[in-house]
Structure 1
Amino acid sequence: MATKEITLEAAAALIPDGAVVSVSSSSGLGCPDLMLKAIGERFEATGRPRQLTTLHPIAAGDMSGIKGVDHIARKGLLARIIGGSYPSGPSTSEPPLIWQMIGANEIPAYNIPSGILFDMHREAAAKRPGVITKVGLDTFVDPQNQGCAMNAAAAAVPIVKKLDFEGEEWLFFPSIAPDVAIIRATTADERGNLTYEHEGAYLGGLDQALAARNSGGIVIAQVKRVTKEGTLKPHDVRVPGMLVDYIVVDPDQKQTTQTLYDPAISGEIFHPLDSFGVPDFNIQKVIARRVAQELQSGSCVNLGFGISANVPRILLEEGLHGAITWVIEQGAVGGVPLLDFAFGCSSNADAYMPSPYQFTYFQGGGFDASLLSFLEIGRDGSVNVSKLSFRPHVTAGAGGFVDITARAKKIVFSGMFNAGAKLSIDAGKLVIEKEGKLKKLVNEVEHITFSGKRAVAQGQDITYVTERCVLKLTPDGIVLTEIAPGVDLATHILDQSEFPLIVSPDLKIMDAALFAEAPIGLSLPAKPQRKLKGA
């Protein structure tokens, strides 16, 4: 049989002008970087392909050695970009090219929640008209706000509309059929069957390949190696060769950002638990410890980037590893979620779910809690994590944040009470040496990534944990429930909020153990036994 393996240059030449191209990636994890580079180089040399629409359910590239979408961020090459998130880079460096294009209004750019963007692929594959969902109502996703538009060029061409369906409000996202899907795996056989043995996640490659194939398009798979047909075990094949048209090889593809290969990330070995570091004692660790006190043993808990990503390490230090099953949007279930550039991967995982199915789990609220960060908290309890006007080039997008929070039973948001404060800990007390200049509790958040109004209407359990206090969202407003030792209620909390906080009549002092270096003796109550309604 004829081989499906071709050169990168030949693969780039297959992409016609005006094509819709779907790219499987999550920052540096699973990014088909060499294929994207080949497309950019072809454009630089020939001026083709032109006017592409690219779809990125999770960001392609991260500016730390894996350029991803920045390879193709060129005037004339891109006509439109639709992403769940966008590459992030050091705030002190020159912004990524794609951020510059978005900020300069050179192309319409949209930030659709990652799970919905995967759903749009699935609907396109099945020849259905689109996605009807409540995910995103009353957030920046809602047409009454920004409607997912990241700039004026996108606002002029709406991508979502509101429907009345059987007396209820819903959002409708039309299907988008890709002409080309670019996915990544570890191994391809000569027939194009793909296995993922060195990958840290399956991501959404199968769904993206189905959408392209069923729409009359082509599928290009970047892999590390090619093997003889018939040598892959059928149960190991995650994308069958009947969906794959072409194979390109990058023998040096990184497993994820700054990680060439770690077999524990792909579940081939398990690292000893004592090989995982625990956080140094600092203000962020205090917050992560207090977040950990919100958990119940036996729960399945989602993690976001930021302070909350350290909570699994708090449980490790407290001898409670395994009490919580961690679930992250890239698909890992269980194990020890990794930090920094490896965020999105887990070592020692129990299982890997394809991202689209993980998002179905999140959108339906099947998990027990989510631990996330905040940039701003509004008077009505809404949270912004997706935009700040004083950082105009930061357009990383919200990823799966909106999918995760839409129906989560319990959410614990964590962050610093305000920005820029000089803080220390002395003798078990928080010392505020200099107050921050930027308040984070504001009358109205700049961008609604999470709707406090919908949370109250749905009865979601919402807690905000900071270094100096703990707050709860109630139908009456935001209630101050705990205060850190050493903090003055009026000066350090009430006066630092743009809106009045309700002080609980049962206001407590935060556990003093949080503010000492030694482990806190954490004990988690058991999650109640699951029962059917009415049983």
Structure 2
Amino acid sequence: MSKHITPSQAADLIPDGAVVSVSSSSGLGCPDLMLKAIGERFEATGHPRDITTLHPIAAGDMSGIKGIDHIARKGLLKRIIGGSYPSGPSTAEPPLIWRMISGNEIPAYNIPSGVMFDMHREAAAKRPGVLTKVGMDTFVDPKRQGCAMNAAAQETPVVKRVSFEGDDWLYFPAITPDVTIVRATTADEHGNLTYEHEGAYLGGLDQALAARNNGGIVIAQVKRITKQGSLKPHDVRVPGMLVDYVIVDPEQKQTTQTLYDPAISGEIFRPLDTFRVPEFNIQKVIARRVAQELQANSCVNLGFGISANVPRILMEEGQHGAVTWVIEQGAVGGVPLLDFAFGCASNADAYMPSPYQFTYFQGGGFDASLLSFLEIGRDGSVNVSKLSFRPHVTAGAGGFVDITARARKIVFSGMFNAGAKLGIADGKLVIEKEGKLKKLVNEVEHVTFSGRRAIEQGQDITYVTERCVMKLTPDGILLSEIAPGIDLQTHILDQSEFPLLVAKDLKVMDARLFAEEPIGLSLPVKSARVLEGTFHE
């Protein structure tokens, strides 16, 4: 018997007061038609009311896939918990969900994406919750904001600091979904789901288990339905025993602004010469310097921003394949994509489900992470998750906190300050007009990464900007390199709210970074890994 129903019939199944878990990553894997049907039902009937939604990664992209904005209605949403949220350009109207959050209309929380997947897993196994070090001394910690995004959220905490076995931990109680909404490519009549046109598996299986094991229902949105028994069992990522209902959207987009690209889903491999190499500009200078921090034969995580261009730098330098890239949506290897397709990769070696990719990150199994910054604090802390004057431009932390919690090496990249007019001439950086907004501040507005905890753990932290390179040390932030053409006092020290340490052997950044030609990048080979410590019975 087919489990196929219409979107409106599926929306009718969601009761008032339900906890609804949604599998998505911006436009990637977003069950947009199902969310639209829920919003339309509410507009027509006033139901469902007072639902709580869970989003390990954002639902919707504000660029043709509305996602959460379909249900961002007063009376419909009671509370929202997300690893990240849809964002928009500063010149655009803020998404509806951001208006609700900033207007304090509903409690809103930002829990690290990996921890949210852990919470689903704990709920599925009927365990009490998650004990973790992820997020300590950041905005996640109850000693700071405790994941609260607005005043309404502060009234009902979602995380506690607890003592266990003589140590401090963060404790996130499991949250049990009544309804889980997932997306796939194909369902058979029994509800088995395959993902052959998807750019990632995300966390649909874990989210489905959390609802199913606790008496809830699972709704799947797919492009097509096929005959029972026609799917290869090794291709099924969510078995039909976990799926109650299926709706069909033959027009669902693969990801943001992309109806379907077989290279994103790994069905074909693109020739390397079809990938765009970054044009020569200030951002490319920074990305090149970041690339010089890498070692061959290493596994490196990438975040959004300038660092997302580093794989293209390696490609231009003839070093493609020297590093295995890993991104939180689950792609391993290949070429991570840029701009609206960020979170996807072409020519990937493998796709891991996001919850297991986050387990890899949380445990520090990878070699390095390349991430961005909005602000750097005196103590080395970094903010990427909140700017009060542009709240809807920042999308929350996503997996940033999971990734940085135990990363051995992190390279943060960004512009030294905001709004500077810059140029490059004769292999030197030229500052034509200084920026008005300092990004090296005494105290960051939101601690997404804790410099104090990094020092305690012995993490290797580097900050790369267009005019200098800095290192985090126990004594403070140390200026180790300066760009050619830059005045140390005027262009760097005077542009920071706090004193920078200056290395006795202060170096000039490689002049090749500031020329159009390839820099002749050569990556040192990572030494073979050995077992750390001693085993005891």
Indicate the residue corresponding to 1:173 in structure 2.
172
Indicate the residue corresponding to 1:245 in structure 2.
244
Indicate the residue corresponding to 1:82 in structure 2.
81
Could you give the per-residue CA deviations for residues 355-396 of structure 1, whole angstroms, max 9, x where no partner exists? 000000000000000000000000000000011122244451
The alpha carbon displacement at 1:231 in A equals: 0.4
TM-score normalised by structure 2 residue count: 0.99
Where in structure 2 are the equivalents of 1:133-532 lying within 5 Å? Answer: 133-532=132-531
Are the counterparts in 1 of residues 296 and 526 from structure 2 also a CA contact under 8 Å?
A: yes
Are the counterparts in 1 of residues 88 and 392 from structure 2 also a CA contact under 8 Å?
A: no
CA distance in 1 between partners of 2:341 and 2:388 (Å): 28
The alpha carbon displacement at 1:154 in A equals: 0.1
Are the counterparts in 2 of residues 11 and 246 from structure 1 also a CA contact under 8 Å?
A: yes
Could you give the per-residue CA deviations for residues 118-153 of structure 1, whole angstroms, max 9, x where no partner exists? 000000000000000000000000001000000000
Structure 2: gaps (5+ residues) = none
CA distance in 2 between partners of 1:478 and 1:323 (Å): 30
The alpha carbon displacement at 1:534 in A equals: 5.3
CA distance in 1 between partners of 2:434 and 2:281 (Å): 17
SS at match of 1:212: helix
Indicate the residue corresponding to 2:532 in structure 1.
533
CA distance in 2 between partners of 1:390 and 1:100 (Å): 13
Could you give the per-residue CA deviations for residues 335-373 of structure 1, whole angstroms, max 9, x where no partner exists? 000000000000000000000000000000000000000
* Structure 1 counterpart of 2:440, one-letter code: L
SS at match of 1:286: helix
Indicate the residue corresponding to 2:122 in structure 1.
123
Higher deviation after alignment, 88-97 or 201-210? 88-97
The alpha carbon displacement at 1:303 in A equals: 0.2
Are the counterparts in 2 of residues 99 and 395 from structure 1 also a CA contact under 8 Å?
A: no
* Structure 2 counterpart of 1:56, one-letter code: H
CA distance in 2 between partners of 1:256 and 1:488 (Å): 45
The alpha carbon displacement at 1:3 in A equals: 1.1
CA distance in 1 between partners of 2:103 and 2:252 (Å): 32
Are the counterparts in 2 of residues 99 and 394 from structure 1 also a CA contact under 8 Å?
A: no
Are the counterparts in 2 of residues 36 and 72 from structure 1 also a CA contact under 8 Å?
A: yes
SS at match of 2:35: helix
Indicate the residue corresponding to 1:70 in structure 2.
69
The alpha carbon displacement at 1:90 in A equals: 2.0
1:100 maps to 2:99: yes
SS at match of 2:116: helix
CA distance in 1 between partners of 2:231 and 2:77 (Å): 37
* Structure 1 counterpart of 2:516, one-letter code: E
SS at match of 2:526: coil
* Structure 1 counterpart of 2:267, one-letter code: E
CA distance in 2 between partners of 1:169 and 1:414 (Å): 31
CA distance in 2 between partners of 1:423 and 1:407 (Å): 35
CA distance in 2 between partners of 1:183 and 1:354 (Å): 13
Indicate the residue corresponding to 2:35 in structure 1.
36
TM-score normalised by structure 1 residue count: 0.99
* Structure 1 counterpart of 2:321, one-letter code: G
SS at match of 2:171: strand
Are the counterparts in 1 of residues 428 and 484 from structure 2 also a CA contact under 8 Å?
A: yes
The alpha carbon displacement at 1:445 in A equals: 0.4
The alpha carbon displacement at 1:88 in A equals: 1.3
Indicate the residue corresponding to 1:23 in structure 2.
22
* Structure 2 counterpart of 1:284, one-letter code: Q
CA distance in 2 between partners of 1:383 and 1:322 (Å): 30
SS at match of 1:53: strand
* Structure 1 counterpart of 2:281, one-letter code: N
CA distance in 2 between partners of 1:482 and 1:193 (Å): 55
SS at match of 2:430: strand
SS at match of 1:215: coil
- What is the aligned-residue identity percentage? 85
Indicate the residue corresponding to 2:9 in structure 1.
10
The alpha carbon displacement at 1:37 in A equals: 0.2
Indicate the residue corresponding to 2:111 in structure 1.
112
CA distance in 2 between partners of 1:431 and 1:267 (Å): 43
SS at match of 1:21: strand
CA distance in 1 between partners of 2:533 and 2:371 (Å): 32
The alpha carbon displacement at 1:60 in A equals: 0.0
CA distance in 2 between partners of 1:128 and 1:392 (Å): 35
Which segments of structure 1 move beyond 4 Å, counting only runs of 4 or more? none
SS at match of 2:234: helix
The alpha carbon displacement at 1:533 in A equals: 2.5
CA distance in 2 between partners of 1:171 and 1:394 (Å): 28
* Structure 1 counterpart of 2:375, one-letter code: E
* Structure 2 counterpart of 1:125, one-letter code: A
* Structure 1 counterpart of 2:524, one-letter code: P
CA distance in 1 between partners of 2:158 and 2:350 (Å): 35
Could you give the per-residue CA deviations for residues 224-272 of structure 1, whole angstroms, max 9, x where no partner exists? 0000000000000000000000000000100000011010100000000
CA distance in 2 between partners of 1:254 and 1:394 (Å): 23
Could you give the per-residue CA deviations for residues 181-210 of structure 1, whole angstroms, max 9, x where no partner exists? 000000000000000000000000000000
CA distance in 2 between partners of 1:362 and 1:345 (Å): 18
The alpha carbon displacement at 1:64 in A equals: 0.3
Could you give the per-residue CA deviations for residues 35-88 of structure 1, whole angstroms, max 9, x where no partner exists? 000000000000000000000000000100000000000000000000000001
* Structure 2 counterpart of 1:230, one-letter code: G
SS at match of 1:182: strand
Indicate the residue corresponding to 2:60 in structure 1.
61
